[in-house]
Amino acid sequence: KAARYGRTLVRIDRWFPSSKLCSACGTAAESMPLHVRSWSCLCGAAHDRDINAAKNILAAGRADRLNACGGRVRPSIAVAQADETGSHRGAA
């Protein structure tokens, strides 16, 4: 579905604390029961639990995909060459 609409699907960690992470300052609340629908952070930001979670999920997806210049954040995996210089046993 995402490809059909020209979107990119980015997976985030299942346990990412999207509801209890302040989208303004990044501070995570220690615990938050499901019946708590709105809360205020120590920084003074007031949050609706679902809207705050949506903001955090969007930010996490964007951060995982791109850096400030628009390039990939995660470099490709480097493969070691079999003939790389190293320590050789028995060398003087």
Q: How far apart are CA 36 and CA 20, in angstroms?
A: 10
CB 57 within 8 A of CB 63: no
Residue indicated by tokens 């070691």 = 80
Q: What pLDDT, on a 0 to 100 scale, did the predictor assign at position 79?
A: 52
Report the range of poorest mean pLDDT among 16-20, 29-33, 53-57, 63-67: 63-67
- Give me 48's structure tokens: 């609706």
More confident residue, 72 or 42: 42
Helix (H), strand (E) at residue 49: helix 49-65
Residue indicated by tokens 């490709």 = 76
